[in-house]
Structure 1
């Protein structure tokens, strides 16, 4: 094989000399000759090593395809953006949850129907002294939640919380009796929130009586936060009671409420939900509030929010074990 290669190389050199001997521009042809010799040497080397000589269109060998495929795969794995790992089950991002509460229900059927027809789950809170409240509760649409809107003593003496108001000055026995009268006036509710109560909800002794009674009945308490010094959440944390707190009033300034002002409050509620994972807004059965909520609920899921009722925000019950019985 070596003799054949030497013979072919010498014959190539002789042919080059013969071709270039009569040409004028020897420098250019000299470079051409060197190139031609290189090509011939490559062909000869290919023959000697058994490598296939391709004309540029033949398909590469099977081993060559496999190796190149493997190289591409390795490069893809090393490139951070090339492979996006799947999120394991149970670790998918959780949608921020928002609960909407409508207070002061039971006094007007028209107001009740407006909020009862809202497209998403909503918590409807009824005054215990309202004569039509139970009839409305019996007609609450599926998916909505019912709460009792418990009258509690305000700081302002001119502010009337209505009949059956709980006062911080009552003895424990009298307070418990007044509380039970309110709680038994309606049925079909899962929790309680305060109607006014800026004075009462800041009193630890009075709130301990209320929260302990609610806990015995399996009811949660939503603090509407009508004072700068609420105590319910702190008591609930110590005692293990189910207590939640309101984040935003949607229409507190009823004299200037409009759909636009409610939307501004809803935007604030969304910001809190994004930051904390959930938020609770309280509104009232005003026409402007119902209109704004209806529009907002129609697009809440598109913006990444889940509209729920208040009880959906309570922590899950711990599993029962033999040790806990």
Structure 2
């Protein structure tokens, strides 16, 4: 009996306390000027961070860098993304392909620099030959005729580079014929430097033809990670030497990586320029 009384009293006390607390809260919540603030659930916003460039020594704070993109002419793919980047890429266009002339006209109309990517004979006999390839065994008349046809196919060009050509660019007689003709047309020569035995620099100097050479390739493999690493290597090279010229190719991964990284590199201090700004 005693236990039941204790239980009844305890329940009554709890009821009284609960009612009292409720009344106090109700009066506080309804006092003029007071509001009950109910904590809201925290909202976490996802932010996309820009890639952080590694810290390097910058001997030259604003190095000049040229990006030459080879092998245009086979298609018109990915141009929208490339043009949207609005970076001064040099279009190196193969002649006599389905889109060669159209690409040259389009790139020129948008303010991009255009050069002829001249097919030249390689040491590797198994390497496929492009239309209009100049070979070491050709006489001067044949060389000039092919060169003229190739040049006429790429409207608005400022200069010429070699496509393949490890054998041709080692041949002094052949390169003298080609560079003499380029000089008459006020065109520069850009050496892709596909062989360390290239004699193009010496021939260009002897003839007074404006000349430049490649410093590195960006996309020897079609891997986005590899291309990004090469772009970072280009950055390091440029800040060390004050200038750099890189070759890449008309490929989807290459265009995607460069469209992302060129603005970041520019913000870091690199000045992207046309190839004609770097020839001597």
Residue 230 (structure 2) pairs with residue 265 (structure 1): yes
Please give the root-mean-square deviation of Cα atoms over the aligned residues, in Å: 1.6
**2:61, 2:179 → 1: CA distance?**
31
| Aligned residue number for residue 188 of structure 1 | 156
Of residues 180, 189, 200, the one that matches 1:232 is: 200
Supply the distance in 2 between the matched residues of 1:210 and 1:112 (Cα, whole angstroms): 31
Which residue, out of 285, 288, 299, partners 2:250?
285
The answer for the alignment partner of 2:147 in structure 1 is 179
1:242-275 alpha-carbon deviations (Å, 9 max, x no partner): 111011111123xxx2221111111222222223
TM, length-normalised to structure 2: 0.74
TM-superposed CA distance for 1:94, in Å, is 6.7
Structure 1 unmatched runs, 5+: 1-92, 316-325
Is the CA contact (8 Å cut-off) linking 1:146 and 1:189 kept in structure 2? yes
Gaps of 5+ in 2: 1-59
Partner secondary structure for residue 266 of structure 2: coil
The aligned counterpart of 1:296 is 261
Other-structure match for 2:5: none
The equivalent residue for 1:109 is 76
In structure 2, the partner of 1:125 is: 92
Between the aligned partners of 1:113 and 1:130, the Cα distance in structure 2 is: 20
Q: CA deviation at 1:191?
A: 0.9
Residue 301 of structure 1 aligns to a residue in which SS?
A: helix
| Residue 144 of structure 1 pairs with residue 112 of structure 2 | yes
Indicate the residue corresponding to 2:65 in structure 1: 98
Equivalent position to 1:162, from 123, 130, 138: 130
Larger RCO (CA within 8 A; separation ≥ 6) = 2
Equivalent in the alignment of 2:189: 221
Cα distance per residue 1:72-91 (max 9 Å; x no partner):
xxxxxxxxxxxxxxxxxxxx
Q: Please name the residue that 1:8 is paired with.
A: none
**Which has the higher Rg, Structure 1 or Structure 2?**
1
2:272 to 301, 307, 311: 307
Check whether the contact 1:106–1:136 (CA below 8 A) recurs between aligned residues: yes
How has the CA–CA distance of structure 1 residues 276 and 161 changed in structure 2, closer, same or farther, with 3 Å as cutoff?
Answer: farther
**TM-score when scaled to structure 1?**
0.64
Q: In the TM superposition, what is the alpha-carbon distance from 1:301 to its structure 2 partner?
A: 2.2
Number of residue pairs the alignment of both structures matches: 220
